[in-house]
Amino acid sequence: MKRCTPTDAHAARPYARVLGRALPLVAIAAVAGLAGAQGAAQATDTTARLTVAVDTLWVLVTGALVFFMQAGFALVEAGFQSAKNAVNILMKNASDFMVASIAFWAFGFAFMFGNGTGLLGLHGWFLQGPDTSPLTGAAYHGIFASLSWTGVPLFAKFFFQLVFAGTAATIVSGAIGGRVKFPAYLIFSVVMTTFVYAIIGHWAWGGGWLSQMGFIDFAGSTVVHAVGGFAALAAAIVLGPRIGRYRNGKVNAMPGHNMTFAALGVFILWLGWFGFNPGSTMGIVGDPGLVARIFLTTNIAAAAAGVASMAVSWLRFGKPDFSMTMNGLLAGLVAITAPCAFVSPIGAVLIGLVAGVLVVAAIPMFDALGVDDPVGAVSVHGVCGVWGTMSVGLFGLPALGAAGLFAGGGIHSLLVQTLGTLSMSAAAFASVFVLWSILKATVGIRVGAHEEIGGLDVAEHGAEAYVPADALAEPVLVGVGD
């Protein structure tokens, strides 16, 4: 994924340049002069194998960190909603990743990264087909040319991409919480990870038309977050607000039930982002300095956005607002996701500050527009995903592979970035809007008023997150399947 060099548009290995890769050749060059032919060959072989091993370890460990973000999303979303809907939100978070794991393996990965047209990939269903990974560049022959820049085995590439697909799907679950029918959400998860995320992602990361224009999204401000955020917006609009959210033309606050969960969730997401962004190098041997830079820019942008949202909410609402500050931290992380590899720490601070202000403006705006988003997913992932992607065209440094306006790179990159993020966001919004409209007309998307008031936990799952008073007595068993 991660197109870095606008000039390298059609190449299938944009990263090779930045990471100084071209795996066996580098190793040969490094050791050729040191020993005789026999020894050199052995040393070369050892170095090459070690390089692949270390890079693979890096990709898998950071992939596991990104997987852990599922736990963060589950806690944030559960904490920011009613206790009566906690089981439902946890079930949605678990099941969207279960579904994604199968759907993205079967079809999604092929649509996204398989060789194909500028619009979608057409090879590699069920990960089947020729592939010579971990060979890179010209040495690579296979059907996933768009990932041939990274020298790790195919299954490592797949796992790392899978956890990203799972993230995009799970963004939506919070925004539609408290009133959605579970079967509709399951169907949505399948379609999201099979088609919506995968095909739109192909445009930027799979060698599609946007990457050919020089569009850059390092770790997915748009590919993952804006796509997820605008999918969430479409779903929330079709679904309508929760009962009681708007009364007498006013926005009625519906506070979450557990701020401790929410805070823990945000910290887990923050930790997970140290996999999301630095892991998107998909290798560490070629350029450890770049990885370290991304750790720094990622963290400092989150911090700056948290400070900004805390300050703005303090000024605007009179007190430092906890849930707004948590959303602000996440907004900074979303925004720095696209530019993390291309900006200086100062650029990262500015990107974060803007994200923190944007999220405090966006959340009340969507509330006033009648979009009921219980967790702020549209503002955090949608709005700040767009901002972060555009910021590459402002703060990107030419020395790092991006031509930002403020670094003297001209306006071209900003225009391409804007076109890219807006077209992908619009595509996500439109396709998900149609999907939920179809679901509404067929299987139904919304529980009844009685079920909604009583909570989705009992209505949809026959279970409660917190022990009911009945637990004081012996349970009245009625038998399996009764």
Partner 1 sequence: MKLITAIVRPERLTAVKEALFKAGVQGMTLQRVSGHGGQPAVHEQYRGSSYLVEFHDKVQLTIAVSNPFVGPTVDAIVRAARTGNVGDGKIFVQELEQVVRIRTGERDGEALTPVGTPGNAATPASDGAPGGAAGLAPV
Q: For binding to partner 1 (CB under 8 A), which residues are involved?
A: 244, 453, 458, 461-464, 468-470, 475-482
DSSP 64-100: HHHHHHHHHHHHHHHHTS-GGGHHHHHHHHHHHHHHH
Is 45 or 464 the residue whose CB approaches partner 1 more closely? 464
Is 34 or 480 the residue whose CB approaches partner 1 more closely? 480
Helix (H/G/I), strand (E/B), else coil: 246: strand
Is 37 or 476 the residue whose CB approaches partner 1 more closely? 476
Q: CB-based contacts of 383: which residues, under 8 Å, 6+ apart?
A: 229, 331, 358, 359, 362
What residue type is assigned to position 356 of the chain? Answer: G
Is 441 or 467 the residue whose CB approaches partner 1 more closely? 467
**Least distance CB 257 / partner 1 (angstroms):** 13
Is 372 or 452 the residue whose CB approaches partner 1 more closely? 452
How buried is 93 (Cβ within 10 angstroms: 0-12 exposed, 13-18 middle, 19+ buried)?
buried
What residue type is assigned to position 51 of the chain? Answer: T
DSSP state of 244: T
Tell me how far apart the alpha carbons of residues 464 and 280 are, in angstroms, rounded to a whole number.
39
**Least distance CB 84 / partner 1 (angstroms):** 9
**Least distance CB 482 / partner 1 (angstroms):** 5
Tell me how far apart the alpha carbons of residues 312 and 221 are, in angstroms, rounded to a whole number.
23
Residue 402's alpha-carbon distances to 9, 187, 415, 455, in angstroms, are 12, 39, 13, 49
DSSP 149-194: TS-S-HHHHHHHHHHHHHHHHHHHHHHTTTTB-HHHHHHHHHHIII
**Least distance CB 177 / partner 1 (angstroms):** 18
Is 69 or 459 the residue whose CB approaches partner 1 more closely? 459
How buried is 205 (Cβ within 10 angstroms: 0-12 exposed, 13-18 middle, 19+ buried)?
buried
Element (DSSP H or E) covering residue 250: strand 250-251
Q: Report whether 323 contacts 259 (CB < 8 A).
A: yes
Instruction: Give the chain's radius of gyration (CA, Å).
Output: 23
**Least distance CB 301 / partner 1 (angstroms):** 41
Element (DSSP H or E) covering residue 251: strand 250-251
Is 399 or 472 the residue whose CB approaches partner 1 more closely? 472
**Least distance CB 452 / partner 1 (angstroms):** 10
Q: Is the dihedral of CA 185, 190, 193, 199 positive or negative?
A: negative
Is 37 or 478 the residue whose CB approaches partner 1 more closely? 478
Q: Which runs of consecutive H residues, i.e. helices, occur in 369-445?
A: 377, 384-395, 412-441
**Least distance CB 478 / partner 1 (angstroms):** 5
Tell me how far apart the alpha carbons of residues 407 and 272 are, in angstroms, rounded to a whole number.
30
**Least distance CB 464 / partner 1 (angstroms):** 7
Is 244 or 448 the residue whose CB approaches partner 1 more closely? 244
Which has the closest alpha carbon to 223: 394, 11, 415, 392? Answer: 392
**Least distance CB 98 / partner 1 (angstroms):** 17
**Least distance CB 476 / partner 1 (angstroms):** 4
Is 53 or 463 the residue whose CB approaches partner 1 more closely? 463
Is 246 or 295 the residue whose CB approaches partner 1 more closely? 246
Tell me how far apart the alpha carbons of residues 64 and 87 are, in angstroms, rounded to a whole number.
24
